[in-house]
Amino acid sequence: MAKMLTGQEHHLAAAEHHESAALHHRNASKHYQEGDHAQAAHQALIAHGHAQLASRHANDATKYHVEHHSDSGVS
Q: How far apart are CA 57 and CA 68, in angstroms?
A: 16
pLDDT at 72: 55
What pTM did the predictor assign? 0.82
- Could you give the C-alpha distances from 42 to 28, 46, 49, 62, in angstroms and in order? 8, 6, 11, 31
Q: What pLDDT score does 54 carry? A: 97
> Which pLDDT does position 51 carry in this prediction?
98
**Does position 73 have pLDDT exceeding 70, yes or no?**
no
> For 30-64, how does the pLDDT look when each residue is reduced to its tens digit (9 = 90+)?
999 999 999 999 999 999 999 999 999 999 999 99
CB neighbour list of residue 58: distance below 8 Å, 6 or more residues apart? 10, 11, 14
**Helix residue ranges, H only, 1-75:** 7-33, 37-69
